[in-house]
Amino acid sequence: MNILGDSTIVIYVGYGLVAVAVFIIARMLLQEQESRAAQENLEDMKSRQTTNPLVKLTRPFFTQYVVPMIRGKPFWDKMRLKFKRKLVTGGLKDELSPDEFISFKLFMIIFFPLVCGVLKAGGFLDIAWYVIIGSGAVGWFYPDLWVGSRIRARQKKILRAMPFIVDLLALSTEAGLDFVGAIGKVVEKAASSPLVEEFSQVLKEIKVGSSRSEALREMGVRIGMSEVNSFVAILISADQMGASIGKILRQQSEQIRVQRMLAAEKAGAAASQKVILPVVLFILPAVFIMIFGPFILGMMYPQQ
């Protein structure tokens, strides 16, 4: 009985050791696969080009150490959705993912105080410790300022290109092409610009099954400009009602040019008001010195 009991125990122990060995081997293979996937993702992140030198400098750090803590966490879902829209509007969706952008913001909280501390230790900056700590807040908001400037610059380019693109669409539709064909002609012939890229995305969405109205609405949401939204709304309405697209495009082109002229006049009027203060502070004193300086000197030092 003892021999049978001992042999049963040995068999169970053997089964347990086999199970442990299988678990360890499976775990090692799974970790190796996860490590390979993470390495591939990291290499892909590093290979992407960016226009921001600070992103280029710090990308190897925040992608390797911060992104894994952000990816897949439900806590960041609201912020992820918010920044995704901003990155798309700024034309940065190929440079940074929402997780990377959040990681970049978090990394800047540490990076800015670290740089300030190193500069203070090296004697290049003479700042208080609370300024060094407070620079972390500047680091958190710096990526938002950068993306905001990119959005404004991109929207200006789109507004500048709109009259020519709309004219080209009108010519193409009047020549006999349907609206989708006219967009294809614009994408093929027009010079590269953010608006042409957006129309190219519209074509791609239509080809994968989206309706024209859905694709145009998505374009308006991506760009985030009232001028484009009104243009898209008029096109969708005309398409649904069966009105002449060419005539509407002509009217829209004229309206956009009038709006640009009014905006230029408004900016010129505002610039003339802004110039008054520098003129009063710097130019008028110099003029007065040139005019009245010789008289004052002559009165102070009369010739003997």
pLDDT score recorded for residue 230: 84
Stronger pLDDT, 24 or 209, i.e. the higher one: 209
Report whether 67 contacts 46 (CB < 8 A).
Answer: no
Stronger pLDDT, 28 or 125, i.e. the higher one: 125
Confidence band, pLDDT 50/70/90 cuts, at residue 30: low
What is the rounded average pLDDT for all residues in the chain? 81
Q: Long-range contacts for 289-292 (Cβ within 8 Å, ≥24 apart)?
A: none
pLDDT score recorded for residue 69: 87
pLDDT score recorded for residue 1: 45
pLDDT score recorded for residue 83: 92
Q: Long-range contacts for 260-265 (Cβ within 8 Å, ≥24 apart)?
A: 260/159, 260/163
Which amino acid is residue 259, in one-letter code?
Q
pLDDT score recorded for residue 149: 93
- Tens of pLDDT, residues 52-106: 888 888 898 888 888 888 888 888 999 999 999 899 888 888 889 999 999 999 9
Q: Which is nearest to 198 in space by CA: 172, 231, 176? A: 231
- Tens of pLDDT, residues 225-243: 888 888 888 888 877 776 6
**What's the rounded Cα separation, in Å, for the pair 196 and 244?**
23
Q: Is this model's pTM higher than 0.85 or not?
A: no
Say if residue 41's pLDDT is above 80: no
Going from N- to C-terminal start, the domains of the chain cover: 1-47, 154-260
Report whether 95 contacts 48 (CB < 8 A).
Answer: yes
**What's the rounded Cα separation, in Å, for the pair 120 and 132?**
9
- Tens of pLDDT, residues 129-152: 888 888 899 999 999 999 999 999
Say if residue 2's pLDDT is above 80: no
pLDDT score recorded for residue 120: 84
CB atoms within 10 A of CB 169: 25
pLDDT score recorded for residue 243: 67
Q: How far is CA 272 from the centre of its chain?
A: 33
- Tens of pLDDT, residues 144-190: 999 999 999 999 899 888 888 888 888 888 888 888 888 888 888 88
CB atoms within 10 A of CB 116: 22
pLDDT score recorded for residue 52: 86
CA distances for 147 relative to 60, 142, 206, 213, angstroms: 20, 9, 29, 28
- Is domain 154-260 in CATH 2.30.170, yes or no? no
Confidence band, pLDDT 50/70/90 cuts, at residue 9: low
- Tens of pLDDT, residues 260-287: 788 778 877 777 778 888 877 888 888 8
pLDDT score recorded for residue 21: 65
Say if residue 208's pLDDT is above 70: yes
Mean pLDDT, range 17-41, rounded to an integer: 60
pLDDT score recorded for residue 4: 47
| Half-sphere exposure (Cβ direction) of 220: Cα atoms closer than 13 Å | 17
